[in-house]
């Protein structure tokens, strides 16, 4: 049977990078599920391999005939902001979608979550439920439910870290990720950030690298065998090697041509004081994240693990790719 791949959230930043990769590197038929086809800026909608499924993710029944024929699913669609809608989209809708797949036809489901809900060993953290935003909570709940789903062995859960993608100078057809959009604002605060040492670690990944990983997985045989003591749903944290906030700031200073300064330790009490002084709103999850400080995971997965080439492995490459001007 010919590979027929369903991509939800097809008009998003990551979704369009994935579609572009599949168009270039596979012969698969693509079902693109999205609400507004006008937002499909980087993809030729007239490509004969593409069929658009236009509708809300909560209306899966409208596409029951198409869903029963897909061999692979890449589920990037998500919702946040409105707690009710977030639960309906991030939990209820995914269950309905899975129920409409033909278990004798579908070979693999790549489900997008977020690395924020995992600890260093890739296990869910209790704080995701107690402090998490509606987005964090629903992603954590959905992962727990998928572990017990009849299709669990066919599910690969991917957990992107901080996602960059697109450009801020309008020289790319791909949508710009929220983090890439935020680079300009981050540069505005370099005058202050250069005076502090944060002692925090994090991972990041470019949407093009997410696309090559998911594209590779979606066009390769799916392994149903599980390793001992591993969750039923396979888990991949999508990330480049660990970086400190101080290293990222130093890279921005070098790019901007700003001299480095002696740094003061950024203690938790000082962070609290800055939050009160500066025009910053923080949630319970934000406060937990500030206290946690380090967001490192092991193992991580990037294109190198599959013998592929990473689009952006360093912050300098991220900055260059973003179109941000000094």
Q: Looking at per-residue confidence, does 220 or 292 come out higher?
A: 220
Question: Averaged over 116-138, what is the pLDDT?
Answer: 92
282: confidence class by pLDDT, cuts 50, 70, 90: low
120: confidence class by pLDDT, cuts 50, 70, 90: confident
221: confidence class by pLDDT, cuts 50, 70, 90: very high
Report pLDDT digits (tens) over 4-58: 999 999 999 999 999 999 999 999 999 999 999 999 999 999 999 999 999 999 9
H, E, C per residue of the chain:
CCCEEEEECCCCHHHHHHHHHHHHHCCCEEEEEECCHHHCCCCCCCCCCEEEEECCHHHHHHHHHHHCCCCEEEECCCCCCCHHHHHHHHHHHHHHHHHCCCCCCCCEEEEECCHHHECCCCCECCHHHHCCCHHHHHHHHHHHHHHCCCCHHHEEEEEECEEECCCCCCCCCCCCCHHHHCHHHHHHCHHHHCCEECCCEECEEEHHHHHHHHHHHHCCCCCCCCCCCCCCCEEEEECCCCEEHHHHHHHHHHHHCCCCCCCEECCHHHHHHHHHHCCCCCCHHHHHHHHHCCCCCCCCECHHHHCCCCCCCCHHHHHHHHCCCC
Report pLDDT digits (tens) over 258-277: 998 988 886 665 556 555 55
Report pLDDT digits (tens) over 139-171: 999 999 999 999 999 999 999 999 999 999 989
Q: What is the pLDDT of residue 225?
A: 72
Give the best-scoring range by mean pLDDT among 124-138, 269-283, 286-300: 124-138
224: confidence class by pLDDT, cuts 50, 70, 90: confident
pTM score: 0.93
Q: Looking at per-residue confidence, does 158 or 189 come out higher?
A: 158
The overall average pLDDT reported for the chain is 91
Q: What is the pLDDT of residue 266?
A: 67
Q: What is the pLDDT of residue 72?
A: 98
Q: What is the pLDDT of residue 226?
A: 64
């Amino acid at each position: 049977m010919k590979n027929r791949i369903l991509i939800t959230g097809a008009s998003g930043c990551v979704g369009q990078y994935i579609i572009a990769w599949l168009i270039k590197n596979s012969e698969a038929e693509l079902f693109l599920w999205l609400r507004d086809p006008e937002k499909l800026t980087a993809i030729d909608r007239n490509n004969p391999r593409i069929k658009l499924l236009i509708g809300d993710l909560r209306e899966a029944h409208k596409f029951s005939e198409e869903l029963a024929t897909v061999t692979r699913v890449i589920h990037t669609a998500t919702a946040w902001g409105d707690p009710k809608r977030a639960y309906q989209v991030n939990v209820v809708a995914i269950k309905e979608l899975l129920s409409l797949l033909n278990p004798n036809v579908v070979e693999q489901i790549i489900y997008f979550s977020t690395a924020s809900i995992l600890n260093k060993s890739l296990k869910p953290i209790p704080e995701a439920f107690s402090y998490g935003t509606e987005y964090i909570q629903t992603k954590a709940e959905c992962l727990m439910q998928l572990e017990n789903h009849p299709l669990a062995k066919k599910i690969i859960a991917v957990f992107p870290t901080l996602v960059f993608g697109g450009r801020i100078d309008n020289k790319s057809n791909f949508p710009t990720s929220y983090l890439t959009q935020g680079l300009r604002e981050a540069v505005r605060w370099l005058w202050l950030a250069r005076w502090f040492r944060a002692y925090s670690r994090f991972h990041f990944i470019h949407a093009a690298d997410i696309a090559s990983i998911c594209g590779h997985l979606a066009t390769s045989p799916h392994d149903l065998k599980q390793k001992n003591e591993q969750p039923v749903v396979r888990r991949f944290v999508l990330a480049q090697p660990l970086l400190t906030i101080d290293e990222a700031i130093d890279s921005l200073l070098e790019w901007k041509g700003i001299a480095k300064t002696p740094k003061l330790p950024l203690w938790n009490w000082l962070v609290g004081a800055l939050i009160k002084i500066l025009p910053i709103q923080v949630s319970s999850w934000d406060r937990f994240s500030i206290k946690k400080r380090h967001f490192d995971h092991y193992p991580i997965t990037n294109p190198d693990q599959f013998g592929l080439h990473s689009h952006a492995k360093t912050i300098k490459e991220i900055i260059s790719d973003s179109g941000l001007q000094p």
